Structure 1
Amino acid sequence: MGKKKDLSAAEKSEIVQCLGRGMKTLDISRKLKRDHRTIKRFVADSEHRRVCADKGTLRKIFARSMHRIKRAAAKIPLHSSKQIFEAAGASGVPRTSRCRVLQSLATVHKPSIRPPITNALKQKQLHWAEKYMKTNFQIVLFTDECHGWSSGWLVDGWWDGHPVPTRLRHQQGGGGVMFWAGIMETELVGPFRAPEGVKMTSAKYVEFMTDHFLPWYRRKNYAFHNKIIFMHDNAPSHAAKNTSASMAVIGIKGEKVMVWLPSFPDLNPIENLWSILKQKIYEGGSKFTSKQQLWEAILTFCKQIQAETVQKLTSSMDARLVKLLSNKGSYVTM
């Protein structure tokens, strides 16, 4: 038997199996009809496999661009590893490698839903609370879009002593499943899923509401239409003239539209609904391999939300307004 070409992957696998069964290298060489020295060399190399010189530290290819990556992560906090690497001019790097690099200089955090609050905003909130203090909130339909529950990277030490930055709605874009829902008295309206990859402009928002909200609204009687107050936040697609005109056609206009505070989500009781839903969906460490699987879980758990839970949220508005006034226009936590 003379020396042949290098061992194939199949031969190497069979050698490992034979060694596991207790066979000697000489017997393995006879079985594979390969030179005994070739088998011994493979076994010796496997037993004395070369230890990586950097022992797990970052490769030189990353060391050259580490400063740019760190600067990009600091400049665009709470973004994905792909977005950070693209901003650093290092596109095409596999996800596992990106995360390994970022773990050495950053940590994954979830964004805060609370925006920075100024004295001017506090005054607006106080005026808003005084305006709606006598409102019957059981006739208010609180609506909102949920953009999924995403997180992103923050450079270590960069935000020490400061709260996690907020991520404004129009910046969220990307990950997760985007859907719309509403709560009124004891009823949960929806959820309705937004089209994948579609930017929610005024035209798209009107189209979405026509397809999903309007059928529900038209099933209600005249007395309901006469009393309802519709609340949606002041996102650009909501506040647009085209949106207001379309809502006015079905009678939702003037005092029947609740003027919402700018960038003040924690006053909206539907935000608490998102928290309840999130706890149910991810209870026990559940994970989802696709957006469709996540959406099916959202639908399943929305059906399990009791009317009493919804009523507890909608009836909390009076207490929220009292707390807003007592906090002199500052944050409300319920």
Structure 2
Amino acid sequence: MGRAGALTEAEKRAIWGWRAEGLKLSDIAKRADRSRNAVKRFLDQPDATPGYVGNQNARKFTGPAQTRVFNKLRAAPRSPLKALTMQVNTGRSQRKPVSRETVRRNMADDLSFRRAIVRQPLSRENRLRRVAFAMQNLNKIEEHRKVIFTDEKKFNLDGPDGYPGQWVRTGELPDRVRRHTGGGSVMFWMAISSAGKMALLKTPARITSENYVAMLESSRVATIFGETHPEGWTFMQDNAPAHAARNTKSFFAREGWHAMDWPAYSPDLNPVENVWSIMSRRIYAGNRQYESLSELEAEIIEVWASITNAEVRSLLTGWNARLHRCVNKEGANVQNF
């Protein structure tokens, strides 16, 4: 049966470790002397209140509300969940409003809709490395505050790449959606940290080690962040060719920058992707397209200015929970942007 009571922090760490080793839930429960259900609840919801098992009588919406949602999706298939929730709650002035979570759940369970997303192909070796990375950084909250997270993104005149962000019926698209582009585009690089926004810079269409290093120097993120973290800090970047080039590594060594050992094919672990997602929804709101690159660039800069430091910090506080999910899912993709 296993002991009762809330899990201790030591037990939680042990359970994550056994899960990362590939042990079954029943084996973990035996080692921890806990019930299988208690272990499963913790792995499914590591930050949940002890004893919470969910709402067994979750609300649904039907009839006119479903029709309004269908009409909204036909007109704007990339509609944010907030807009769909407003459609559901139209005419419900005398009743309790339906929450976004209820709408999201009904979209998936009753209407068979889900977001089309880009997922990186993950081999068994990739997944093991992702779990190892997550385990190495789990619960090191103070260290998380010393990280500069960065990423590049391409914005197109005619909208986001491919289908990502679009609501589709289950079965209409494969789980792994490949990107395709058309028309003109512009590339930007972003840096964020526990302080909030740090930099947003336009980059050349083709990023080389030379222009990447030049951009890092001009960004002054190291100088700014180093002033508030004299004890040391870490720079997060993915494994793009320009990032992994010998010239870039020499620059890091010369300047004394410490690069995080980032696992391959892991954009879903990078909180910058969430900021890109917020910006994309605002830039392409209402399926907007742009006539020129200068118009698109101006909108990108304006949207970046509208992002608050509080928004960025709230995303970064959730990074530890994302690492938990990576371990729990045995290295599989954890985030839908």
Q: TM-score, normalised by structure 1?
A: 0.57
1:194 pairs with 2:206: no
Structure 2: how far apart are the matches of 1:261 and 1:174? Answer: 32
- After superposition, give the CA deviation of every residue in 1:199-227 in whole Å (9 maximum; x if it has no partner): 2121221122222x2x3432455452432
- Partner Cα distance (1:164, 1:319) in 2: 24
> Would you say 1:151 and 2:151 are equivalent positions?
no
Mark the structure with the bigger radius of gyration.
Answer: 1
Cα distance change of structure 1 residues 180 and 173 upon mapping to structure 2, 3 Å threshold: farther
1:223 and 1:275 map into 2 onto residues whose CA distance is 28
**Residue of structure 2 in register with 1:229 after alignment:** 234
Instruction: Label 1:219 to 1:272 Cα distance change in 2 as closer, same or farther (>3 A).
Output: closer
Verify the 8 A CA contact 1:111 1:166 in the aligned structure 2.
no
| 2:120–2:176 contact (8 Å) kept in structure 1 | no
- Deviation, 1:261, is 1.1
For 1:126, the equivalent position in structure 2 comes to 131
Return 5+ residue gaps in structure 2 as ranges. 1-114, 164-170
* Separation in 1, partners of 2:227, 2:286: 45
Change (3 A) 1:111 1:166: farther
Judging changes above 3 Å, is the alpha-carbon distance between structure 1 residues 160 and 173 closer, same or farther for their aligned structure 2 residues? closer
Distance 1:173 1:283, change over 3 A: closer
Residues 185 and 314 in structure 1, CA contact (< 8 A), matched pair in contact too: yes
Over residues 233-266 of structure 1, what are the superposed CA-to-partner deviations in whole Å (9 max), with x where a residue is unaligned?
Answer: 01111011210111222210xxx31111101111
Code of the aligned partner of 2:308: Q
Of residues 132, 136, 145, the one that matches 1:138 is 145
Equivalent runs, 1:321-332 vs 2, <5 Å: 321-332=323-334
Change (3 A) 1:172 1:189: farther
C-alpha separation in 2, matches of 1:173 and 1:226: 46
C-alpha distance in structure 2 between counterparts of 1:264 and 1:221, whole Å = 26
Q: Which has the higher contact order (CA 8 A, sep 6+)?
A: 2
2:297 aligns with 295
Match of 1:162 among 174, 197, 203: 174
Identity %: 30
Aligned-partner SS, 1:147:
strand
Q: CA deviation at 1:124?
A: 1.0
Q: 1:246 to 1:176 in 2, by over 3 A?
A: same
SS at match of 1:125: helix
The CA deviation at 1:322 is 0.7
Instruction: Give structure 1 stretches of 5+ with no counterpart.
Output: 1-109, 154-158
Partner of 2:217: 210
CA RMSD of aligned residues (A): 2.6
Q: Which residue of 2 aligns with 1:244?
A: 249
2:161, 2:181 within 8 Å by CA — same for their partners in 1?
A: no
The structure-2 alpha-carbon separation of the partners of 1:206 and 1:313, relative to structure 1 and needing over 3 Å to count, comes to same
| SS in structure 1 at match of 2:155 | coil
Q: Secondary structure at the match of 2:239?
A: coil
Residues 126 and 325, structure 1, Cα contact 8 Å, conserved in 2: yes
C-alpha distance in 1 between matches for 2:264 and 2:250 = 21
**Partner of residue 274, structure 1:** 276
For the structure 1 residues 141 and 173, does the alpha-carbon distance in structure 2 shift closer, same or farther, using more than 3 Å as the test? farther
Structure 1 distance, partners of 2:282, 2:224, is 30
> Residues 264-306 of structure 1, C-alpha deviation per residue, up to 9 Å, x if partnerless?
1111111011110011112234332111111111111111111
Q: Distance in 2 between matches of 1:174 and 1:208?
A: 26
- Give the distance between the partners of 1:327 and 1:186, measured in 2 at CA: 30
Answer yes or no: is 1:304 the counterpart of 2:309.
Answer: no
Letter matched to residue 186 of structure 1: A
Cα distance change of structure 1 residues 327 and 143 upon mapping to structure 2, 3 Å threshold: same
User: Distance in 2 between the 1:249 and 1:222 partners?
Assistant: 18
Match of 1:8 in 2: none
Q: State the distance in 2 between where 1:288 and 1:175 align.
A: 10
Which residue identity lines up with residue 175 of structure 2 in the other structure?
Answer: P
What CA distance in whole angstroms lies between the structure 2 residues aligned with 1:207 and 1:301?
25
Q: Aligned letter for 2:213? A: V
Classify 1:225/1:240 alpha carbon distance in 2 versus 1 (closer, same or farther; 3 Å): farther
2:241 and 2:181 map into 1 onto residues whose CA distance is 14
Contact 1:147 1:173 (C-alpha < 8 Å) held by counterparts: no
Confirm whether residue 180 of structure 1 aligns to residue 189 of structure 2.
yes
C-alpha distance in 1 between matches for 2:324 and 2:185: 35
Aligned-partner SS, 1:227: coil
The question of whether the paired residues in 1 share the 8 Å contact of 2:279 and 2:300 is answered with yes
**C-alpha displacement at 1:163, in angstroms?**
2.8
